[in-house]
Structure 1
Amino acid sequence: MNKIRMSVLLGALMMAASGIASAQFGGLTSALGGGKSSGGASAEQIVKRYVTGTQSVMNADANMLAALGLKDESEKAALHAKNLTEGATKDALEGAAKVQTDSSKVLEERMKGQKVVMDEESKKRFANGLADLARGVIQYVGVSKDMSGFKPSVTSLGATANSAVYIVQSLPGSLKSVGSTLKTAIDFAKSNNIPLPKEANDATALL
């Protein structure tokens, strides 16, 4: 009889301990934000949308650089845009960001430098690039809203969470830089009789 009572008592104690641990773990998950932003975006969603935006920006750089006669720089930007994937690691994102920053710097210097002679085909390619750049800015603005209050959870630790944290830290600077390139590209287009795509106005309104 004593053995039965002891077994029942031990079982009750184990169930109680399990309940306390579960409650504590749940509280910890809640405190860490569950791997989502206040808007409900997960780490995976933030990375995916950021990659889409970065691909648009790099494709824009590639098109506009080619339109301005900078073939080598254009090919480098296009290659990195192609290699960037939805599940990009922090290192991959950092590498893409460096190439994109370098491309934008060369692009802005070219647009602000001596007057560039462009044929109709080059103007068309520049306009396509400008549309891509505007779409990238729109994506970045969307990501900045998604990541508001984002905190990685205990269930989302790993490469994706690290990528999301990197995006949270770097996006404000990236958005400022890309926004500057967009405005310079718009001014250049106006000065060279290049039609502005609708996306350019939509993106400018968000900055």
Structure 2
Amino acid sequence: MNRRILSAALLASATVLASNASYAQLNLKQLGLGGGDNSSGNAATGAASAGGVSQLLQNYVGANQQVLAGQSGLASAMGLPGAAGQAQQAAGLLSGGTPSVSQLTQVGSTQQSLSQTLTQAFASRSGSASSGPLDKAAFSSGLESLGKGVSQYSSLQSSLGSVGQMNPASLLQSGVNPQNAQAASYIAQSAPGQLQSLVSTLTQAVQFASSHGISVPSIATSALKGF
């Protein structure tokens, strides 16, 4: 009897392990990070993994470039040249190939600071009769860029969950180079919070535009759907 119980336990354990292995492989496939049949060779798996993460980084950089362009435009429209310059400098960090984690951190910090500056500017203008400079055309253009950036951020969410379950070591094992692995892990951890902050900024910018007779591009409102 004891032998039968032991055999059943061993069989159950083997089944669980096999199931977990299949689940991990499925996550890799969903992300485009390889997986698949070992008979296809480690080189093919590594290439697929590197390609999947490379695409994620490219999309993330593109989203941030749009966001920074939008923040720069809004800041210029509100008569804040210093803030507009900060956005342009941050965008420059994303123009030289794959950015490092340090550069991505700096970009994220600048975005957060700009969001706070713009929020304060919206509140100040709405709460007073100040006749400071307000370029409505530039504001509308900034809204369009920010809306595109938020929309692109949203499209990243489907793959961020899978990346977040993989630490840099796992990404390295799947063939991703060290810099890209670190950047991908940073993005998985930071992007959701960044998106929420940007949605808040875009919401306030749309409200400000609506109350000041500024044209609101359709992409700015459609980007907010679902939030």
TM exceeding 0.5 = yes
**Runs of 5+ consecutive residues of structure 2 not aligned to the other structure:** 1-20, 34-51
Q: Which position in structure 2 is the counterpart of 1:18?
A: none
Q: Which position in structure 2 is the counterpart of 1:6?
A: none
Is the CA contact (8 Å cut-off) linking 2:63 and 2:149 kept in structure 1?
Answer: yes
2:93 maps to 1:83: yes
Task: Give me the identity figure in percent.
Answer: 26
Code of the residue aligned with 1:139 in structure 2: it is Q
1:96-111 alignment runs, 5 A limit: 96-111=107-122
Q: Which position in structure 1 is the counterpart of 2:145?
A: 132
Report deviation, 1:117: 3.8
**2-structure distance, mates of 1:67, 1:110:** 11
Q: Deviations over 1:63-92 (max 9, x none)?
A: 100110111111111121133135111111
- Count of aligned pairs: 178
1:54-203 alignment runs, 5 A limit: 54-85=64-95, 86-115=97-126, 117=131, 122-150=135-163, 151=166, 152-154=171-173, 155-203=175-223
Report deviation, 1:153: 4.5
CA pair 37-74 structure 1, distance change in 2 beyond 3 A: farther
Q: Secondary structure at the match of 1:195?
A: coil
Larger radius of gyration, structure 1 or 2? Answer: 1
Code of the residue aligned with 2:54 in structure 1: it is E
Q: Deviations over 1:11-31 (max 9, x none)?
A: xxxxxxxxxxxxxxxxxx988
**Runs of 5+ consecutive residues of structure 1 not aligned to the other structure:** 1-28
Q: Which position in structure 1 is the counterpart of 2:16?
A: none
Q: TM-score, normalised by structure 2?
A: 0.71
CA RMSD of aligned residues (A): 2.4
Is the CA contact (8 Å cut-off) linking 1:35 and 1:156 kept in structure 2?
Answer: no
Is the CA contact (8 Å cut-off) linking 1:37 and 1:149 kept in structure 2?
Answer: no
